[in-house]
């Protein structure tokens, strides 16, 4: 009600804003948001035009819950693509009678047509929103939700195709001020009874996930939504007690406890109990009789805490609209079919501004990834300061957005979910800084390394400096394949010794270097305990600085291959603890650089001579590509990639 009158945005303004915004931010997904985006009649034309303009940039459009009766192939084309998002409809009620009461304007035929269109266009899971506790609702209306789900599943059953699954959310009706249903509420006990009734009816439907709104959240929404000025102390006290993000299930118990305590301290527990008991449930009977209507009529005239707020909507019109709802009389949308005389339109609030439907452009097709690999650039880059708090996945998304903003022609992978060919040598753990990360970028159009460096650096934060860019052969192995070692700087403290000297650290380091075996037990993903000799994986270990009474900065170089042969910083702490017999604490980790294995340049004659001398498993090796691949992969000390 508060969004009246309608104010449609000009289509060209929407298109330009999206196009400019996507290029300026580098994001690959956007959404057109509205209370009811399907009421924007130009939506199919606008969405299709945006989709066509950004066709080659792997852009995904998502829409919020929309009117199922207006979902067609055009909307499906807008939403479809390489990353087909979820689809959400809001029938609200399970029976036609209840949809007429809330003036949904949706028939069973329209509901089936929209769901079937989505199924035919490739969606096999659809989200549906329903609501219980609406005025005039009976148990038959509640059970109608389960019947509607079964009916839709049955009608959309196609031989040879995966079944249609549903993810449904059952919300509890909570009244809002300035609406026709502001005089109606339901008790917590009644909500629990209806939820149990519906759970029982839905228990045997396969391929169905059901989410019920917690009744405590609904009671709090009702209490807060229709509160008066006494609510101010409650809100402040609840905030002081930690309320916030209350709809999240993780904090539900904490939030309910905070609100309950705040209500009690404000001496409003009696008022909250009235809300829990459904104090304003004026329409408990299935069909209000004339006597009931006369009985509740005076209650509709009682002053309400929010009456002094002028929304432009006449209170008498709200009462008349409530009466029409009780009579299941549908009212046309005044944005399209004439004024309903609610009182909003006029000099103060203006009039409805509705953009008529526009011609829908021809669909240019979905995104086709450009898989040409014309050039590979290897970038040495840092991750310093607060960027250490960015996870690896977010770091990769940052590269993707920077490449888009810089308009660099990046190559894409194939498959159902194409991704830009941005290949890091290794994932940097969260919280670790670095001055030597290596990332490979594969482009569809060659670019000078210095030009690439300048364009990319202009789109990256200052805490991600680019040190070097080199061009490598597109046929050469990626940096992730030939990663061999890593150099780290570790800031370490000794916990059980208040004073340590540089001599102590040198003694411990020398003890590690002179020990041939230092074993460590680790549990694999399959649950097996594996013993590894950490000493074999350590190449260098030095004391950089002893800058604190009980701590120092150490440098080490160890194996760091992506096949699992690596020496992590916590492994080095284990080595130090074994040699010092003290408990160590790792304070800071900095990856100084990554070291790639040097591929030896071996001539074909040398390889042939080597192969002739080698007897592998008792069989002379024949020099062909297949045998050589097997031979190189079996070698302990050399990998196939080194011979490319």
514-545 confidence digits (pLDDT tens): 999 999 998 888 888 999 999 999 999 999 99
CB 633 within 8 A of CB 640: yes
Verify cis geometry, omega within 30 degrees of 0, for the bond prior to 230.
Answer: no
Going by pLDDT thresholds of 50, 70 and 90, the confidence category of residue 494 is very high
In this prediction, residue 295 carries a pLDDT of 41
Buried b (16+ CB within 10 A) or exposed e, 312-343: bbeeebbeebbeebbebeeeebbbeeeebebb
Position 644 pLDDT exceeds 70: no
543 and 618 belong to one structural domain: no
CB 243 within 8 A of CB 258: yes
445 and 505 belong to one structural domain: no
In this prediction, residue 461 carries a pLDDT of 96
DSSP 477: P
Query: What CATH number does residue 497 fall under?
Result: 3.30.70.3190
The residue-averaged pLDDT of 2-6 equals 85
Buried b (16+ CB within 10 A) or exposed e, 380-413: bbbbeeebbebeeeebbbbbbebbbbbebebbbe
In this prediction, residue 614 carries a pLDDT of 56
Class of residue 292 by CB neighbours under 10 A (exposed 0-12, middle 13-18, buried 19+) = middle
Among the listed ranges 122-126, 147-151, 407-411, 618-622, which one has the minimum average pLDDT value?
A: 618-622
Residue 266 lies in a domain: no
Going by pLDDT thresholds of 50, 70 and 90, the confidence category of residue 81 is low
The residue-averaged pLDDT of 238-255 equals 79
In this prediction, residue 287 carries a pLDDT of 44
Among the listed ranges 11-25, 116-130, 180-194, 241-255, which one has the minimum average pLDDT value?
A: 241-255
Going by pLDDT thresholds of 50, 70 and 90, the confidence category of residue 76 is confident
Pairing mode, strands 433-443 and 584-596? parallel
590 and 609 belong to one structural domain: no
Parent domain of 77: 11-216+314-326
Position 621 pLDDT exceeds 70: no
Residue 357 lies in a domain: no
323-341 confidence digits (pLDDT tens): 898 888 888 888 888 888 8
How far is CA 468 from each of CA 407, 422, 426, 444, 477, rounded to the nearest angstrom?
20, 16, 17, 21, 19
How far is CA 572 from each of CA 26, 509, 533, rounded to the nearest angstrom?
40, 10, 12
> By C-alpha distance, which of 425, 429, 463, 397 is closest to 590?
429
Going by pLDDT thresholds of 50, 70 and 90, the confidence category of residue 244 is confident
Spatial separation of the C-alpha atoms in residues 559 and 262, rounded to whole Å = 58
In this prediction, residue 252 carries a pLDDT of 81
Position 373 pLDDT exceeds 90: yes
In this prediction, residue 248 carries a pLDDT of 64
The residue-averaged pLDDT of 423-452 equals 96
Residue 343 lies in a domain: no
Residue 362 lies in a domain: no
Class of residue 591 by CB neighbours under 10 A (exposed 0-12, middle 13-18, buried 19+) = buried
CB 482 within 8 A of CB 598: no
Q: Hey, is 49 helix, strand or coil?
A: helix
552 and 612 belong to one structural domain: no
Neighbours of 491 (CB within 10 A): 18
In this prediction, residue 610 carries a pLDDT of 58
> By C-alpha distance, which of 76, 54, 82 is closest to 63?
76
Residue 589 lies in a domain: yes
How far is CA 540 from each of CA 372, 536, 559, 575, 588, rounded to the nearest angstrom?
41, 11, 10, 13, 19
Provide DSSP, 445-462.
S---HHHHHHHHHTTS-T
> By C-alpha distance, which of 475, 368, 357, 345 is closest to 416?
368
In this prediction, residue 285 carries a pLDDT of 44
In this prediction, residue 604 carries a pLDDT of 47
CB 85 within 8 A of CB 66: no
Query: Can you say whether the dihedral through the CA atoms of 581, 522, 557, 536 is positive or negative?
Result: positive
Q: Hey, is 14 helix, strand or coil?
A: helix
211 and 101 belong to one structural domain: yes
Query: What CATH number does residue 394 fall under?
Result: 3.30.70.580
135 and 63 belong to one structural domain: yes
Spatial separation of the C-alpha atoms in residues 261 and 251, rounded to whole Å = 15
End position of a domain, from candidates 429, 458, 476: 476
CB 408 within 8 A of CB 379: no
In this prediction, residue 613 carries a pLDDT of 57
540 and 622 belong to one structural domain: no
Say how many residues make up the chain: 644
Strand (E) positions, 294-432?
Answer: 375-383, 422-424
Please calculate the CA angle 44-47-51 and round it to the nearest 5 degrees.
Answer: 135
Query: What CATH number does residue 209 fall under?
Result: 3.80.30.20
Q: How many domains does the chain have?
A: 4
- For residue 200, the surrounding DSSP H or E stretch is helix 188-202
The residue-averaged pLDDT of 341-368 equals 88
466 and 493 belong to one structural domain: no
Q: Which tops the pLDDT comparison, 615 or 29? A: 29
Residue 511 lies in a domain: yes
End position of a domain, from candidates 294, 326, 358: 326
37 and 109 belong to one structural domain: yes
88 and 174 belong to one structural domain: yes
In this prediction, residue 294 carries a pLDDT of 42
Q: Hey, is 85 helix, strand or coil?
A: coil
The residue-averaged pLDDT of 376-390 equals 96
The residue-averaged pLDDT of 364-391 equals 94
In this prediction, residue 632 carries a pLDDT of 56
Going by pLDDT thresholds of 50, 70 and 90, the confidence category of residue 283 is low
In this prediction, residue 571 carries a pLDDT of 96
End position of a domain, from candidates 453, 476, 499: 476
* 3-class SS string, 88-157: EEEEECCCHHHHHHCCCCCCHHHHHHHHHHHHHCCCCEEEEEEEECCCCCCHHHHHHHHHHHHHHHHHCC
Query: Can you say whether the dihedral through the CA atoms of 518, 560, 415, 477 is positive or negative?
Result: negative
What is the average pLDDT value for the chain, to the nearest integer? 86
Going by pLDDT thresholds of 50, 70 and 90, the confidence category of residue 82 is low
CB 168 within 8 A of CB 149: yes
In this prediction, residue 35 carries a pLDDT of 78
Spatial separation of the C-alpha atoms in residues 204 and 562, rounded to whole Å = 47
How far is CA 239 from each of CA 205, 245, 331, 499, 570, rounded to the nearest angstrom?
41, 11, 41, 46, 41
Rounded to two decimals, what is the model's pTM? 0.76
Position 624 pLDDT exceeds 60: no
- Which pair of structure tokens corresponds to residue 43? 């939506």
CB 312 within 8 A of CB 348: yes
Going by pLDDT thresholds of 50, 70 and 90, the confidence category of residue 640 is very low
535 and 611 belong to one structural domain: no
450-492 confidence digits (pLDDT tens): 999 999 999 999 999 999 999 999 999 999 999 999 999 999 9
Strand partners, 442: 376
In this prediction, residue 595 carries a pLDDT of 96
In this prediction, residue 31 carries a pLDDT of 87
Spatial separation of the C-alpha atoms in residues 467 and 564, rounded to whole Å = 28
Among the listed ranges 155-159, 179-183, 422-426, which one has the minimum average pLDDT value?
A: 155-159
39 and 109 belong to one structural domain: yes
3-state helix, strand, coil in the chain (%, to 5): 40, 20, 40
Residue 526 lies in a domain: yes
Residue 560 lies in a domain: yes
Q: Which tops the pLDDT comparison, 603 or 586? A: 586
Q: Hey, is 409 helix, strand or coil?
A: coil
């Amino acid at each position: 009600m508060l969004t009246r009158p309608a104010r449609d945005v000009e289509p060209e303004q929407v298109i330009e804003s999206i196009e400019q915004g996507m290029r300026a931010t580098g994001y690959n997904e956007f959404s057109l948001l509205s209370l009811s985006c399907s009421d924007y009649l130009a939506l199919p034309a606008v969405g299709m035009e945006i989709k066509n303009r950004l066709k080659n940039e792997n852009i995904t459009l998502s829409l919020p819950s929309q009117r199922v009766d207006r979902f067609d192939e055009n909307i499906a084309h807008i939403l479809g693509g390489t990353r087909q998002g979820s689809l959400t409809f809001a029938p609200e009620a399970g029976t036609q009678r209840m949809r007429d009461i809330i003036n949904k304007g949706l028939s069973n035929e329209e509901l089936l047509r929209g769901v079937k269109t989505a199924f035919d266009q490739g969606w096999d899971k659809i989200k549906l929103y329903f609501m219980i506790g609406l005025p005039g609702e009976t148990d038959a209306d509640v059970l109608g939700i389960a019947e509607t789900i079964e009916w839709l599943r049955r009608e959309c059953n196609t031989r040879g195709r995966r079944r249609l699954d549903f993810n449904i959310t059952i919300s509890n009706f909570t009244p809002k001020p300035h609406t026709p249903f502001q005089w109606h509420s339901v008790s917590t006990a009644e909500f629990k009874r209806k939820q149990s009734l519906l759970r029982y009816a839905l228990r045997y439907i396969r391929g169905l996930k059901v989410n019920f709104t917690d009744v405590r959240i609904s009671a709090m929404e009702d209490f807060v939504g229709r509160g008066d000025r006494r609510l101010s102390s409650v809100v402040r006290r609840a905030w002081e007690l930690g309320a916030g993000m209350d709809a999240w299930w993780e904090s539900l118990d904490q939030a309910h406890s905070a609100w309950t305590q705040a209500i009690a301290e404000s001496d409003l527990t009696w008022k909250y109990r009235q809300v829990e008991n459904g104090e304003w449930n004026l329409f408990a009977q299935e069909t209000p009789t004339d006597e009931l209507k006369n009985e509740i009529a005076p209650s509709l005239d009682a002053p309400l805490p929010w009456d002094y707020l002028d929304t432009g909507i006449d209170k008498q019109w709200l009462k008349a609209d409530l009466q029409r709802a009780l009579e299941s009389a549908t009212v046309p949308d005044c944005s399209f079919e004439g004024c309903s005389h609610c009182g909003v339109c006029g000099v103060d609030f203006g009039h409805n501004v509705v953009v008529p439907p526009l011609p829908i452009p021809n669909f240019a097709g979905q995104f086709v990834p450009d898989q040409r690999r014309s050039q590979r650039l290897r970038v040495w880059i840092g991750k310093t300061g607060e960027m250490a708090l960015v996870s690896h996945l977010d770091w990769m998304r940052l590269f993707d957005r920077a490449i888009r903003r810089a308009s660099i022609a990046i190559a894409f992978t194939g498959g159902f979910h194409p991704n830009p060919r941005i290949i890091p040598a290794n994932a940097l753990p969260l919280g670790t800084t670095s001055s030597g990360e290596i990332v490979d970028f594969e482009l569809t159009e060659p670019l000078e390394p210095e030009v690439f460096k300048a364009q990319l650096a202009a789109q990256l934060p200052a805490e991600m400096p680019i040190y070097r860019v080199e061009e490598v052969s597109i046929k050469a192995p990626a940096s992730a394949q030939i990663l061999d070692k890593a150099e780290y700087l570790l800031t370490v403290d000794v916990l059980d010794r208040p004073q340590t000297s540089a001599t102590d650290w040198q003694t411990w380091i020398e003890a590690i270097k002179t020990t041939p075996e230092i074993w460590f037990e680790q549990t694999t993903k399959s649950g097996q305990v594996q013993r590894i000799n950490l000493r074999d994986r350590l190449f260098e270990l030095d004391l950089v600085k002893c800058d604190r009474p009980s701590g120092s900065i150490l440098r080490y170089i160890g194996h760091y291959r992506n096949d699992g042969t690596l020496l992590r910083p916590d492994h080095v702490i284990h080595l130090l603890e074994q040699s010092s017999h003290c408990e160590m604490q790792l304070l800071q980790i900095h990856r100084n650089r990554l070291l790639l294995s040097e591929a030896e340049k071996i001539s074909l004659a040398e390889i042939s001579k080597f192969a002739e001398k080698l007897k592998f498993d008792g069989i002379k090796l024949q020099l062909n590509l297949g045998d050589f691949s097997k031979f190189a992969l079996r070698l302990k000390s050399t990998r196939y990639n080194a011979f490319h």
